[in-house]
Amino acid sequence: MRADVEHVVSIFGLDQDSARMLLRDYNWNSERLIEKYMDNPTEVQIKAGLQNPKGAPSSVTPIAQPTTTRRSTRKSTAPISPVATKFVCPICCDDEPPATLSLQCGHQFCSNCWAQYLEGKVREEGECTIRCMENGCSLLVPDSFIKQHGGTPVYDRFEELVMRHYVAHIAHLKFCPAPGCTDTVSCRAAATKSALETMVPAVTCSQGHTFCFGCNVDSDHRPVLCRIARFWLKKCQDDSETANWIKTNTKECTKCQSTIEKNGGCNHMTCKKCKHEFCWVCMGPWVDHGTQWYSCNRYDDKAAIDARDAQSKSRISLERYLHYYNRWANHEQSARLSADLFAKTEKKMEEMQLTTELTWIEVQFAKKAVEEVLRCRTTLKWTYAMAYYLEKSNAKELFEDNQRDLEKAVEDLSELLESPIEPETIPDLRSKMTNKTVYVQKRNEIMLEDTANGFKEGRWTWNETVTL
């Protein structure tokens, strides 16, 4: 930010304040500012509130006359009006203010009102564009004025607001979203929207919080693209529970495919919508049942099989979704339980230190393993979302192979973590676990790298639900 300000200062020979105000007006796009400023500096200054339009009538409507300074201002850029009889601040109506102040526009107010105004704007409204108090006056209050007359806490807050304004408008900067973290992360590669079509910008701030630079969907949704991750989450929110219920409690009318819940009564069903009559047990048309009401003992009639076929087709898509969803949810659940696992592992590590010769540093392998499992579960979780949207192809098969390898390795490692500790097996367990951790880490890297490359090469083909 400082560099940008210096840059503008050096080009136009402006003071720091003006440069900062101009840049804020141009949302920190220094190139556009420089271009416009070259064309017409006055217009740019007026627009940014550095100057008042010439000859604009000031619409001062004082409550009590006359409006002239009694005491000269401490730091006023405006010409000081001759010391006259009495000044009454038009805002608080105080006729003996300690001092009066005005900006370049010459609108005089007492210093108490200014301080109150600045504090209100900065603290309550969180505003970093503060204009003169006079109605219709568009002159901006310079930063140095705020510093001098607003007090230190107000100015500090103001600086923070300016900083936020800067970060919000620079595409390659973002605040870390972790609670209480004030770190800013720069990621130039992910600054454009189109870049998000070929990569997943997972970044880590200096405090170690990982988040996605491109969206705020989930902390780290690699290997799935932001757009698809959003899609998936939305679908899950809409569908999952409902779909589960529908699957277990309803059947579809074999004629019009309306979803029907049978909540009592006999097996002779009449569809409310198309009036088709059928048997709930075999799904065949009711007429075939002849007079054998209330019992369906016939098995695999041609018509009944056809009917069931049609129904199963409509169930397939639902089942396909649930297949992916259940696995996705499962990994999410496991990842959520990791807090427990951490605690348990910590206990085990202590135990190990007591029962064996191993030092604190030597038992860290268990903690590392837990961390790795957690990381991989997040990846695995999202691979299921990705697989759901992938079109069937060789590439997808390879993807699923990778997924399976990773999953298998992660489950093995999880099992090792759960296994009981006996003093004689510890060295063995330790080497096994360390090896497995390294292996899992490797598989995870391969998985992520391969999908990332796939995005770059355009290897993945999506099914129609997500195509642009």
Exactly one of 20, 24, 70, 107 binds another protein (CB under 8 A); that residue is 107
Residue 45 Cβ, how far from another protein at the closest point, in Å? 21
- Residues 452, 329: Cα–Cα separation, whole Å: 23
**Piece of 116-124, 185-193, 404-412, 431-439 that binds another protein (CB under 8 A):** 116-124
Task: Closer to another protein by CB, 110 or 341: give it.
Answer: 110
The residue from 92, 256, 266, 274 that is catalytic is 266
The CA–CA distances, whole Å, from 201 to 237, 376, 382 equal: 24, 17, 15
Task: Closer to another protein by CB, 109 or 389: give it.
Answer: 109
Q: Give a three-class secondary structure readout of 251-281.
A: EECCCCCCEEECCCCCCEEECCCCCCEEECC
Angle at 412 between CA 397 and CA 367, to 5 degrees: 120
Residue 108 Cβ, how far from another protein at the closest point, in Å? 11
173 binding another protein? (CB under 8 A): no
**Piece of 111-119, 161-169, 171-179, 191-199 that binds another protein (CB under 8 A):** 111-119
Question: What does the block give as tokens for 143?
Answer: 């930063």
Selection from 136, 149, 161 nearest residue 74 by Cα:
149
Task: Closer to another protein by CB, 64 or 189: give it.
Answer: 64
**Piece of 131-139, 180-188, 320-328, 369-377 that binds another protein (CB under 8 A):** 131-139
135 binding another protein? (CB under 8 A): yes
Residue 339 Cβ, how far from another protein at the closest point, in Å? 45
- Which residues, in sequence order, are bridge partners of residue 175? 184
Task: Closer to another protein by CB, 61 or 297: give it.
Answer: 61
- Which residues, in sequence order, are bridge partners of residue 252? 259
Residue 63 Cβ, how far from another protein at the closest point, in Å? 5
Q: Is 93 one of the annotated active-site residues of the chain?
A: no
* 409 CB neighbour count, 10 Å cutoff: 21
Residue 113 Cβ, how far from another protein at the closest point, in Å? 7
92 binding another protein? (CB under 8 A): yes
427 binding another protein? (CB under 8 A): no
Task: Closer to another protein by CB, 56 or 92: give it.
Answer: 92
84 binding another protein? (CB under 8 A): no
133 binding another protein? (CB under 8 A): yes
**Piece of 106-114, 242-250, 374-382, 433-441 that binds another protein (CB under 8 A):** 106-114
The CA–CA distances, whole Å, from 180 to 153, 175, 209, 379 equal: 20, 11, 11, 26
Residue 345, helix vs strand vs coil: helix
Residue 119 Cβ, how far from another protein at the closest point, in Å? 9
- Residues 173, 213: Cα–Cα separation, whole Å: 9
Residue 124 Cβ, how far from another protein at the closest point, in Å? 8
Q: What single DSSP character describes residue 109?
A: E
- Residues 427, 433: Cα–Cα separation, whole Å: 10
- Touching another protein, residues 16-75 (CB under 8 A): 60-61, 63-64
Task: Closer to another protein by CB, 17 or 134: give it.
Answer: 134
Task: Closer to another protein by CB, 120 or 153: give it.
Answer: 120
Question: What does the block give as tokens for 30?
Answer: 């220094």
- Residues 157, 141: Cα–Cα separation, whole Å: 15
Buried b / exposed e over 259-277, threshold 16 CB at 10 Å, is ebeeeeeebebebeeeebe
- Residues 446, 210: Cα–Cα separation, whole Å: 19
113 binding another protein? (CB under 8 A): yes
Longest dimension (CA), the chain: 113
**Piece of 91-99, 164-172, 250-258, 443-451 that binds another protein (CB under 8 A):** 91-99
Task: Closer to another protein by CB, 114 or 213: give it.
Answer: 114
**Piece of 127-135, 153-161, 219-227, 400-408 that binds another protein (CB under 8 A):** 127-135
First-residue to last-residue Cα distance in the chain:
37
- Residues 302, 289: Cα–Cα separation, whole Å: 13
467 binding another protein? (CB under 8 A): no
The beta strand positions in 102-226, using DSSP E, are: 109-110, 173-175, 184-186, 202-204, 210-212
- Touching another protein, residues 341-360 (CB under 8 A): none
The CA–CA distances, whole Å, from 463 to 48, 386, 454, 460 equal: 49, 11, 16, 10
Task: Closer to another protein by CB, 117 or 145: give it.
Answer: 117
116 binding another protein? (CB under 8 A): yes
Exactly one of 49, 90, 97, 454 binds another protein (CB under 8 A); that residue is 90
- Residues 257, 271: Cα–Cα separation, whole Å: 10
Given CA atoms 32, 33, 39, 42 in this order, what sign does their dihedral have?
A: positive
Give me the active site residues, please: 266
Residues that bind another protein (CB under 8 A): 60-61, 63-64, 90-94, 107, 109, 113, 116-117, 120, 131, 133-137
